[in-house]
Structure 1
Amino acid sequence: MDMSDTRTIAAPREVVWAALNDPEVLKASIPGCEEIEKHSDTEMAAKVTLKIGPVKASFKGQVTLSDIDPPKGYTISGEGTGGAAGHAKGSAAVRLEEEGENTILHYDVKAQVGGKIAQLGGRLIDSTAKKLAGQFFDNFSSIVAPPPEGEETEEAADGNKKGWFGKMFGKKGEKAEKDVAEDGSQP
């Protein structure tokens, strides 16, 4: 299976590059991702549970980054096994291009699947892969891209604008603020 696409992300290239190399951002962006463990700057392990047609499987695999050219792009390669459901391996060439305040992300994917998943048929696999890629980029963009100008977030309205890192990890104070508002005392 081969797939190519281009996505516009409303964030500077350096921010997109940093997010593409952040395991927590990737974990939050990848549909069905349960864990990502970074072993080095170029190697990670991941566990992802996916449903492809009638087959649901947990895949464990290794991911390797190569052809690294910060902040312009890299090649990401991986291989995973899903037990009786089958296996998958592939790579994606990712290239980031500046366009004003935005970043154009280009990707070219080459993948192979085997086992029960391969028996589902090319059309179902291709449509599922496109759907998962779309979900990844929707999730990734919502984490990385700031809100459009003129749209204020709650954090910005409170004078506490956090950016993508804060969006992921800045929820701890909300419960404490709610507790104070409800009974008037400090937590």
Structure 2
Amino acid sequence: MQMSDQKEIAADPATVYAALLSPEVLKACVPGAQEVTGSAEEGFEAKVTQKVGPVKATFTGTVTLSDLVPGEKLTITGEGKGGAAGFAKGGAEVTLAASETGTLLSYDVDAKVGGKLAQLGSRIIDGFAKKMADQFFTNLQNALAPESPEDDAEAAEAEGTQKGWFRKMLGGSGGGDADNG
């Protein structure tokens, strides 16, 4: 399976790059992630539960990062096993470019699946992969969202949302409690 797309993220390239190297951000952004541990230098270990068509499985796997150019690009390579459900492995080349509204993130993915997953057919797998990618980038945008004006922040706080928590964690303008969650 191959997939390419571009997403606009409302944060500067350095912030987006740092987020992609953070296990905490990855855990918050990867749909179904139960745990993500490790570091960009040593690689990450992840546990993700997903339902693809009629097949539901918990995948455990590893993710390594290479070709790291801070604020510009990185290559992600991963492999996960889901027991009887099968396996998934592949990689993605990610590039970041400054844009008028923040960062234009482009990615090219090449992945393979096997076992019961492969029996589902490419239409289901491709649709699932697109949905997962869209959800990941929506979650990433929410994690990096710039702080809103004070009354919007109060409304968000009342709703229990955590927009901009990663920016606060990096030491962006204070205000608010970044530890609630």
Compute the TM-score of the two structures, normalised by the length of structure 1: 0.82
CA deviation profile, 1:7-39 (whole Å, cap 9, x unmatched): 000111111111111110110000000001115
Residues 100-115 of structure 1 mapped to structure 2, 5 A cutoff: 100-115=100-115
- 1:76 paired with 2:85, answer no
Give the unaligned 5+ runs of structure 2. 158-162, 170-176
Q: 1:129 aligns to what?
A: 129
Q: Which amino acid aligns with 2:14?
A: E
Distance 1:128 1:90 in 2: 15
8 Å CA contact 2:40–2:65 kept in 1: the answer is no
Change (3 A) 1:49 1:155: same
Distance 2:42 2:65 in 1: 5
Q: 1:35 aligns to what?
A: 35
Moved more, 162-171 or 53-62: 162-171
Larger Rg: 1
8 Å CA contact 1:9–1:102 kept in 2: the answer is yes
Distance 2:14 2:82 in 1: 34
**2:142 match: secondary structure:** helix
Distance 1:10 1:150 in 2: 19
Distance 2:151 2:8 in 1: 19
Q: Which amino acid aligns with 1:60?
A: T
**1:6 match: secondary structure:** strand
> How far did residue 163 of structure 1 move?
3.9
Q: 1:171 aligns to what?
A: 180
Distance 1:95 1:113 in 2: 24
Change (3 A) 1:16 1:39: closer
Change (3 A) 1:42 1:69: farther
Q: 1:143 aligns to what?
A: 143
Change (3 A) 1:40 1:147: closer
CA deviation profile, 1:102-149 (whole Å, cap 9, x unmatched): 100000000000000000000000001000111101111000121567
Distance 1:156 1:105 in 2: 26
Distance 1:12 1:149 in 2: 19
8 Å CA contact 1:146–1:164 kept in 2: the answer is no
Aligned residues: 168
Q: 1:99 aligns to what?
A: 99
8 Å CA contact 1:39–1:45 kept in 2: the answer is no
Q: Which amino acid aligns with 2:117?
A: I
Distance 1:46 1:156 in 2: 30
- 1:10 paired with 2:40, answer no
8 Å CA contact 1:52–1:125 kept in 2: the answer is yes
